Each structure stands twice: as structure tokens, then as C-alpha cells.
Amino acid sequence: MMKIKNVTVFGSGVLGAQIAFQTAYRGYQVTLFDIKDELLEQAKLKFAQFKEFYQQDLNAPPADLDDALTRIYFTTDLAESVKDADLTIEAIPENIQIKKEFYTRLGAVAPAKTIFCTNSSTLLPSQFAVETGRPGQFLALHFANYLWKNNVAEIMGHAGTDQEIFDQVVQFAKSIGMLAIPIYKEQPGYVMNSLLVPWLMAGLDLFRNGIADAASIDKTWMKTLGATLGPMAMSDLVGMNTAYNVIKSYAESTGDEVWKQRQDFMKENFIDKNKLGISSGEGFYKYPNPAYQDADFLK
């Protein structure tokens, strides 16, 4: 088994910046690639912010955070970015065409040893395995937002992924501090969204069909299961934009009438009214002091 030392992250956006920082923090040499220098400059600003989060949330020693930064190299040259990469993690836009074109270019310049991982949330590795030119060394390594504290990583190959490569990526995920979740077959939404999306939709359907109000739906779930949140509060936390985009993509990909009704309902009642959840101060609840945080909510 090859020892992974050099990791390249493609895309310095929301997730790519977090993946690069966490990987460097755990001792790897990291190269961060993006298409423009300005974007890499913005990533450096994000790292300054991450240092504060890591100190607050993880009690991370400042010297370790400074060391992490010395291990990150920035480039806009794709061939340069992978010249000695053992493993790569792609976090570029969630668009099948962009990913296919990117992997075609990457496959042509990366050394034969390099393992390719995608952080895609909704696409399956089999949808662009051929473009990588090395399907056996290609799989998904999927992180969650705020990964230093929501440190779960789902590892999912396609039918042609080599078992040894899969196992190696599981070990890598553990080595950067993730709770590694191996997934044995391709599954849209991995484990997490396969659980979360139907749960959120069940709550939304009870609400939009006038079966119960948001607080009653959440109270039922919280009281019965001893949970700290119900599906309506969770929708506010995820944010209505994200929820709407997920619903829209299901509506478009399935053509199913129920998904279309959910999409229309979300648009009319939340998106168009700027009720975007916690970020805009209102969703199913009003913030900063939502009712579900009242001491009396479950009485």
C-alpha cells in the first residue's frame, strides 16, 4: 500500500478550503488548486478565519495552526498541482459537464500513482469514472460543511473502484480526523442524505398539507425520541435555499408531481418571501430566539 503524503485539493470554495486546511492541519503536504489567483487569495483569508474557529471549537494550539499553513502550497497550474500527488480531492462546482471536462484534463497530467476522490454531494462516481482515465483509482470522499466539527466523511466507490484503493481512502479519512463511513454500493445522497432528505420531506408534507403546525411536528419528534431538533427546525438550520435546490433537483430529475408541488410550495412560501431560515431571521421559526429553544417548548 502506498503511503499517502502529498494531497492536492481542487477548488478553494466553501468545501475545498476546509478540506485543504484540515488535511494540512493533520500533517499532510497540501496543494490547493483553483482557476484564478484571486480565488486563492480569498482562500488565504478563509484560513485566517478557520484558525479562529479551530481555536474556539477544538482548542487547537495556535502554533499547530500556523504550522498547517506552512504546509499549503497554492497554484493555478493543474499539471504543477498534481506532479507528485498521492491523493487528490476535487471540490469544484456541482455540475456534471464541468466535472467531466475537469477529469479529462486531470487524467492526462496526473502521475499513474495518483488516487482521485470527488467530494460531489449529488453526482455518483460512475457518472464520470470513464473521464478520469483511471476508474479503479476513482471514488467519492464526501465531507460535510464545517468539517472540523461535523467530522463525518462518507467513502463511496463505483462498481469499478479497486477495493485496496477504497480501503486506503477510508484510512486516509480517519487519519485527518474524520469519522469514516464506508458505503458498499453507489447510493445517491450517500447515507446521510438518504436519511435526512426523506425525514425533512415528511415534515414538510405534514406542514404543507395542513396536517399539523411546525411546532407540533417538531414537538412530537423531539419528545418521543429525546431529540434536540425536529425536521422543521432542521430545515431552518440547513437553510431554505439549500432545501429548495435539493427539492428542485429531485423534481427535475424524477419529473414526479409531489416533488414539483414541494418545490412550488417552498418557492411561494419561503424563497419569494425571503424566509430563508436562520440566515435571514425567519423560516419555520423566528430567530434569534426560536420557540424550540424555549425551556417550556415540550411542556
Binding site for ligand NAD (CB under 6 A): 10-16, 34-35, 39, 91-94, 98, 102, 119-121, 142-143, 145
CB-nearer residue toward ligand NAD: 219 or 235: 235
> Smallest gap, in angstroms, from Cβ of residue 101 to ligand NAD?
7
Kindly state the cell numbers that stand for 98. 464541468
Interatomic CA distance for residues 120 and 94, integer angstroms: 6
Q: Which is nearer to ligand NAD, 145 or 274 (CB)?
A: 145
Residue placing its CB nearer to ligand NAD in the complex, 10 or 172: 10
CB of 146 to ligand NAD, least distance (A): 9
Q: State how far the Cα of 36 lies from the Cα of 190, in Å rounded to an integer.
A: 31
- Beta-bridge mates of residue 9: 32, 89
Nearer to ligand NAD, 191 or 215 (CB): 191
- The least distance separating ligand NAD from the CB of residue 153, rounded to whole angstroms, comes to 10
Q: Are residues 141 and 89 in contact, defined by beta-carbon separation less than 8 angstroms? A: yes
Distance of CA 129 to the CA centre of its chain: 20
Question: Of all residues in this chain, which one has the CB nearest to ligand NAD in the complex?
Answer: 13
For residues 187 and 209, which CB has a smaller minimum distance to ligand NAD in the complex?
187
Is there a cis peptide before residue 135, judged by omega within 30 degrees of 0?
Answer: no
Helix segments in 59-113, DSSP class H:
62-70, 78-81, 96-109
Residue 120 or 137: the one with the smaller Cβ distance to ligand NAD is: 120
10, 51, 58: which is closest to 32 by C-alpha?
10
Nearer to ligand NAD among residue 30 and residue 92 (C-beta): 92
Task: Report helix, strand or coil for 74.
Answer: strand
CB of 58 vs ligand NAD, minimal distance in Å: 19
* Least spacing, CB of residue 18 vs ligand NAD, in Å: 8
- Strands, E, within the chain: which ranges? 6-10, 29-33, 72-75, 87-90, 115-118, 138-142, 152-157, 179-183
Q: Nearest Cα to 40, choosing from 20, 26, 25, 56?
A: 20
Cα gap 10→140, rounded to integer Å: 14
Residue 123 Cβ vs ligand NAD, minimum distance, rounded to whole Å: 7
Rounded to a whole number of angstroms, the minimum distance from the CB of residue 68 to ligand NAD is 19
